[in-house]
């Protein structure tokens, strides 16, 4: 069995210590580094070239786990990323999957299941917590609705970081009108906030 080299990314040292202990006795798994921030994770991955990065999503100051995942995917020899987090909301799941995560598990996962998930991830298989898989299936089954030209225009500006007020000023409409359009966008994309809406629109190819 080839050794699987792992980097742990979590902003809580106690969590990283627990993961290191849980994985330390598993055959063929070796933790080669730990990072507490997204930036440190990128630097460490470039240095030690892990096979799998076990990534939390909420990392405190700096880039979050989804952004770190996206940047890892751009490396010349990118590691596979297995998200391990406490968050199972669409607002967390969709950006992580869109960023290129190879799997998504919750922190209540049994240690034996986690070890197998790491092996599956290293082998190129997708690993999803049951609740996450259910959410993605439900979303896929929901009928698609087309955004209007104005809704798409507003969402593109939101994706670039514009506030509702800035969008309104640019398009010569009121802030209330912008909010009204976004409500329609959220409904059509089955999103519950701006981040999820942008991620879903990018996944569908509505915006770049």
* Residue 63 to residue 70: CA distance in whole angstroms: 11
**144, part of any domain:** no
Same domain, 164 and 115: no
DSSP H or E segment with residue 50: none
Domain boundary among 83, 118, 139: 139
- Read off the tokens for 155: 């969402």
pTM over 0.75, yes/no: no
Question: How many structural domains does the chain have?
Answer: 2
Q: What is the pLDDT of residues 79-102, one digit of tens each?
A: 999 999 998 887 788 888 888 899
* Residue 115 to residue 112: CA distance in whole angstroms: 5
* Residue 87 to residue 66: CA distance in whole angstroms: 12
What is the domain-level CATH number for residue 173? Answer: 1.10.10.10
**117, part of any domain:** yes
Q: Using N-to-C axis directions, what is the helix angle for 111-122 and 13-24, rounded to 10°? A: 80
- Read off the tokens for 117: 């998930």
Contact at 8 Å (CB) between 170 and 157? Answer: yes
Same domain, 26 and 100: yes
Same domain, 34 and 122: yes
Domain boundary among 94, 115, 139: 139
Q: What percent of the chain has pLDDT over 70?
A: 98
Domain boundary among 84, 116, 139: 139
3-state DSSP assignment of residue 2: coil
* Residue 28 to residue 2: CA distance in whole angstroms: 6
**Model pLDDT, residue 137:** 79
* Residue 192 to residue 185: CA distance in whole angstroms: 10
- Domain encompassing residue 154: 149-204
What is the domain-level CATH number for residue 96? Answer: 3.40.50.2300
């Amino acid at each position: 069995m080839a050794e699987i080299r792992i980097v742990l990314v979590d902003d809580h040292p106690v969590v990283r210590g627990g993961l290191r202990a849980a994985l330390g006795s598993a055959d063929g798994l070796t933790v080669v580094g730990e990072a507490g921030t997204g930036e440190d994770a990128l630097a460490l991955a470039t240095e030690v070239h892990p096979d799998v990065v076990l990534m939390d999503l909420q990392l405190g100051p700096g880039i979050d786990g989804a952004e770190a995942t996206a940047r890892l995917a751009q490396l010349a020899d990118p590691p596979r990323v297995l998200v391990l987090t406490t968050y199972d909301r669409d607002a967390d799941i969709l950006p992580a999957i869109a960023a290129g995560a190879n799997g998504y598990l919750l922190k209540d996962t049994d240690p034996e299941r986690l070890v197998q998930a790491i092996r599956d991830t290293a082998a190129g298989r997708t690993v999803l917590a049951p609740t996450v898989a259910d959410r993605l299936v439900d979303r896929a089954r929901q009928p698609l609705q087309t955004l209007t030209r104005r809704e798409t225009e507003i969402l593109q500006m939101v994706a670039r970081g514009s506030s509702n007020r800035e969008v309104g000023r640019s398009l010569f409409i009121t802030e209330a009108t912008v909010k009204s359009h976004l409500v329609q966008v959220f409904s059509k994309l089955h999103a519950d906030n701006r981040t999820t809406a942008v991620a879903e629109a990018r996944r569908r190819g509505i915006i770049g």
